Amino acid sequence: MTNIFRIVFAVICIGNGLAMLVDPGRWYLTVPGVIFTGPLNVHFVRDIGCAYLVTGLSYLWLARNRDAWPAAAAGTAFLAFHAAVHLFEVACGIVAPSTVLRDLPGVYLFPVVALWLAWPRPAAVGPAARALQGHSASTSASAGLGGDTR
């Protein structure tokens, strides 16, 4: 079930990144509040679009391979630092505190969701889980994962 959320999250990030890369002007005018951050800088929007694209691709990879969590963690770090910049601007009085509410879904909630999706989860344990993974209890024991520890 988590992989479904990872894929949905990846599609959202990839879609945002592609929108920023393909038509930065439309993205600038469409996303609520962006026009209040200063004049359009097409190069900057495309740079950030690349970061969203890579973040989304890392989550697709994670949905396919649980060992890809470090790549997803790097994408999560981008989202977290992006949110931190927004909070810094509020704290310094550069932007009004009301922007926090406006930015809540797209800026502040994203890194929280990303962290939950990227967090490494232990492999399932128990005979039924090992059978689903194609391992037998004896294979696990002989590999030092259970059984006699002499």
* Residue 130 pLDDT greater than 80, yes or no: no
Interval 67-76 mean pLDDT: 95
Q: What is the pLDDT of residues 40-70, one digit of tens each?
A: 999 999 999 999 999 999 999 999 999 999 9
Distance separating alpha carbons of residues 108 and 102, to the nearest angstrom: 10
Residue 39 identity (one-letter amino acid): P
Q: What is the mean pLDDT of residues 31-35?
A: 91
| Torsional sign, CA 134, 60, 70, 115 | negative
Any idea where the domains of the chain sit in the sequence? 2-119, 123-150
Q: What are phi and psi of 93, to 5 degrees?
A: 80, 15
Query: How sure is the predictor about 141, in pLDDT bands with cuts at 50, 70 and 90?
Result: very low
Query: Can you give the C-alpha Rg of the chain in angstroms?
Result: 20
d(CA 83, CA 104): 9
Q: How far apart are CA 23 and CA 46, in angstroms?
A: 9
